[in-house]
Amino acid sequence: MFIHITHGDNQSFLANTDCPVLLLLSHLRSKVGVPPDEAIDLCDKMGSPKMLFQVKTMQDRASDFLPARGTYYVCRVEFGAPGTAQEQTAQSFVPLLKNPSVALTEALRLHGQHPQGKLLRSPKTQESRKGPSTETLPSAARTQGAGKTAGRGAFRPREEQHGSPRKTTLAPGGRQQPRQR
């Protein structure tokens, strides 16, 4: 679950996304040399910001927002003037690259002009998905397992959920299948 982070004068490093978003952002700040009071975000090669700066809890995993093996650029998030209605709104994204491409700069400029009001999650391919997000689960399922790591309890193998494993038999072809009761 690693991604490539590019910054400065085409410097890059790997980052592990199997951690909370807030921890990843803190690591990026220290690696790139951005003060803790400045908001940063990541954008992909197309200039789409990932809106990670909006995450406020440790339950949100970076791997839910950033598909593995992707390349991302560190961006500084600039907000509206203090004391105005836009004070809490991202106005622009500035790539922390020495010579950013014109396409990347233009795409980030357009995103700053039309900021999305909600946190966006990157779409993942079906095979890399771990299961439905909490937005797609019924409200009763979202509240089950309070105190467990978000999204982890419902997707454990059957034997971990219900105690001892079921007895199995071998089907033709050598595959295991549950024994009929």
| Predicted structure pTM score | 0.61
17: in domain = yes
118, exposed or middle or buried, with CB in 10 Å at 0-12, 13-18, 19+? exposed
- What's the number of domains the chain is made of? 1
15: in domain = yes
Amino acid 151: pLDDT? 44
Of 46, 52, 47, the C-alpha closest to 90 is: 52
142-177 pLDDT, tens digit each: 333 344 344 444 444 444 445 555 555 555 655 555
115: in domain = yes
108: in domain = yes
In angstroms, the CA 139 to CA 38 distance is 35
179: in domain = no
Amino acid 171: pLDDT? 57
Domain range holding 119?
2-123
Amino acid 59: pLDDT? 93
Q: Where residue 47 sits, what CATH number does that domain have?
A: 3.10.20
The DSSP secondary structure of 52-73, one letter per residue, reads GGG--STTSBGGGTS-TT-EEE
Beta-ladder partners of 16:
2
Which residue has better confidence, 50 or 116?
A: 50
Average pLDDT over residues 46-67: 93
Show the DSSP H helices in the chain as ranges: 21-32, 102-113, 139-143, 158-162
The residue whose two tokens read 């197309």 is: 46
On average, the pLDDT of the chain sits at: 74
